[in-house]
Amino acid sequence: MARGESKRERDRRERKRSNQGAQSELVATAYHEAAHAVAAHAVGRRVVYLRITPVTLPVGHPQNTADVPVVSLGFQLSEPLMAAEVNARHTSGEPFTGAETEWLLQETVISLAGPVMESPDGTPGATMADDFRAFGQIAGMLGRTDERDGVKVVEPEFLRRVERATRQVVSELLEHVIALSKALLETPEMDEKTAQAALAAIPAGSHRHLLDELLTAP
């Protein structure tokens, strides 16, 4: 405590510091989720829900794979909702249909968009763990993983291709990501109508062609 500082002044200073930290985290979450949403829209999905307010997910929640409650800082949902169908196909061992393969490739770009926006230099952050985990799972489903020292890792070439495509989407639509992040700070939870209005300036599927390059990846 600074000399001559009263307890009230110290408490006020600590509250201000805490509020600034919370605001900084909210801004980072807004950029992160905006990038997910813009990428989803750009590769042909329809964004139906966005949130940047923290929510505690109980054990057993579809978005919580842990055995303890976890805090979700933000969330983006886009249609079509094919996770159950894709998981069932993968479990059965049957080959994916063309639509299912495209959906999975869309997921790879969407999952990396948040981290690319949040950390342009590629430095991983704690909030990106779920995105990288999801990317790894999808790469495994697509048969794009190798085993090294008994550990499955994403094929480097596939990772490079998806990262390059994702960076192209984010860089070419950066002004829209920024605009959506600002809109989310004003409206922290968006339903389908609000989200679609916020994304209306971007042609739907504007970067869908990039998925073709991922499909031809060796």
Q: How is the chain split into domains, by residue range?
A: 7-215
- pTM for this prediction: 0.85
Fold of 7-215: Methane Monooxygenase Hydroxylase; Chain G, domain 1 (1.20.58)
**What residue spans of the chain are helical by DSSP H?**
7-42, 83-92, 98-118, 129-141, 156-172, 174-186, 192-198, 210-215
Cβ pair 114, 128 in contact under 8 A: yes
| pLDDT, one tens digit for every residue, the chain (218 residues) | 444 555 454 444 444 444 444 468 899 999 999 999 999 999 999 999 999 998 888 877 777 677 788 788 899 999 999 999 999 999 999 999 999 999 999 999 999 999 999 876 655 555 578 899 999 999 999 999 998 888 889 999 999 999 999 999 999 999 999 999 999 999 999 999 999 999 999 999 999 999 998 877 45
* DSSP annotation of 199: T
Among 139, 112, 110, 115, CA closest to 127: 115
C-alpha dist (Å) from residue 202 to 53, 105, 150, 173, 212 = 25, 20, 44, 8, 20
pLDDT value of residue 20: 45
Cross-sheet strand order for the sheet of 46-51? 75-79, 46-51, 189-190
CB atoms under 10 Å from CB of 73, counted, come to 17
CB atoms under 10 Å from CB of 91, counted, come to 8
C-alpha dist (Å) from residue 203 to 11, 43, 166, 176, 190 = 49, 10, 17, 11, 20
